[in-house]
Amino acid sequence: MWKGVVSFGMVSIPIRLYNATESTSKVSFRQLCPEHKAPISYKRWCSEGDHEVSYGEILKGYEVGKDRYVIIDDKDLDNLPLATAHSIDIEEFVPRDDIEPGLYFKSPYYMEPEELGKKPYHLLRKALEATGRMAIAKIALRDREHLAALHPNGHGILMNTLNWPDEIRSTEGLKGLEGEVKINPKELEMAKALIESLADTFDPSRFKDEYKEAVMKVVQAKIDGEVIEAPAPPQTAKVMDLMEALRASVEAAKKSRAPQKKAPAEKKVARRKAS
């Protein structure tokens, strides 16, 4: 979906970008007329000539005054006087942990080298791995310039677009973050025990988006003339001692994960018996 070069010092690496993610479970609804239950359609209408305009005929216009527009076409956008229009310009290299992913990271893209760029591409990947750093760059993509981070990903390099600093809102005014809260050391130890009892390595295959499946159940129920009701929300528990709540949570976590923990040991015993 984008073709250009990565500027790495005096080295230029020809690459192609591909979307790294896609939406596979999105549920789509059609808008219907309340009287006829027929799909609603939208027409692109010219307010001046009072007529419909097909999508292929529509022009892009930048408003420079009241009812005055400058027409911009794709060729104009391809020839932007901007260094990053066809180049990912690496500005600096920063430690891998310097960027907070929860706030800054946006869309991921796979970066594939052209045949002529294979060696410098993999040189850059290995250098990033060896130094534990990310490359910070700028790129013009989808009608705007983006800040981006390049980092090793398996056998390749992944590019993530980043939020600009002025796009990140301040936490000022969030009352729950104000002031110091005194934490009991014993409660902290119990909270840490709860975390450890649920600790694991991240395996995305264990998780499933159940929203689409739930919607399909509602659709089928409507077809069958049945009614599905949402499960009752959990009742708010009475306020209890925090330490007791943590202790009970740890015990429940241990019980729920006990079979998973025993499985490897059982296999070892079985192997010993077999030998």
Digit-coded pLDDT (tens) for 87-114:
888 889 999 989 887 889 999 999 999 9
Looking at the domain assignment, is residue 51 inside a domain? Answer: no
* Residues in a beta bridge with 68: 65
Contacts of the segment 141-145: beta carbons below 8 A, 24+ positions apart? 141/2, 143/77, 145/82, 145/84
Looking at the domain assignment, is residue 57 inside a domain? Answer: no
The closest of 25, 24, 8 to 211, measured between CA atoms, is 25
Question: Which amino acid does the sequence have at 179?
Answer: G
Residues 6 and 118 placed together within one structural domain of the fold = yes
Residues 16 and 142 placed together within one structural domain of the fold = yes
Residues 144 and 189 placed together within one structural domain of the fold = no
Looking at the domain assignment, is residue 33 inside a domain? Answer: no
Looking at the domain assignment, is residue 65 inside a domain? Answer: no
Residues 187 and 264 placed together within one structural domain of the fold = yes
Residues 118 and 198 placed together within one structural domain of the fold = no
Question: Which amino acid does the sequence have at 203?
Answer: D
Residues 207 and 138 placed together within one structural domain of the fold = no
The answer to whether 95 and 106 have CB atoms below 8 angstroms apart is: no
Who has greater pLDDT, 271 or 27? 27
pLDDT classification of 250: cutoffs 50, 70, 90: confident
Share of the chain above pLDDT 90, in %: 32
Looking at the domain assignment, is residue 161 inside a domain? Answer: yes
Q: Note the pLDDT tens digit of each residue in 28-55.
A: 889 999 999 999 998 999 988 999 999 9
Which single residue is written with the structure tokens 């993509």?
Answer: 141
Cα–Cα separations (whole angstroms), residue 273 to 158, 261, 269: 47, 20, 6
DSSP one-letter string for 243-274:
HHHHHHHHHHHHHHHHHHHHHHHHHHHHHHHH
pLDDT at position 155, please? 93
Residues 137 and 186 placed together within one structural domain of the fold = no
Q: Note the pLDDT tens digit of each residue in 172-201.
A: 888 888 788 888 888 888 888 888 888 888
Residues 6 and 119 placed together within one structural domain of the fold = yes
pLDDT at position 263, please? 45
The yes-or-no verdict on residue 143 having pLDDT over 50 is yes
pLDDT classification of 240: cutoffs 50, 70, 90: low
Which single residue is written with the structure tokens 């706030």?
Answer: 103
What number is the average pLDDT over the span 159-176? 89
Residues 225 and 262 placed together within one structural domain of the fold = yes
The answer to whether 135 and 150 have CB atoms below 8 angstroms apart is: yes
The answer to whether 215 and 228 have CB atoms below 8 angstroms apart is: no
Residues 132 and 206 placed together within one structural domain of the fold = no
Report the number of distinct structural domains present in the chain.
Answer: 2
| Domain hosting residue 125, numbered range | 2-22+79-166
Residues 11 and 109 placed together within one structural domain of the fold = yes
Residues 210 and 265 placed together within one structural domain of the fold = yes
Question: Which amino acid does the sequence have at 31?
Answer: Q
What number is the average pLDDT over the span 135-149? 87
pLDDT at position 73, please? 85
Looking at the domain assignment, is residue 146 inside a domain? Answer: yes
What length is written for the chain? Answer: 275
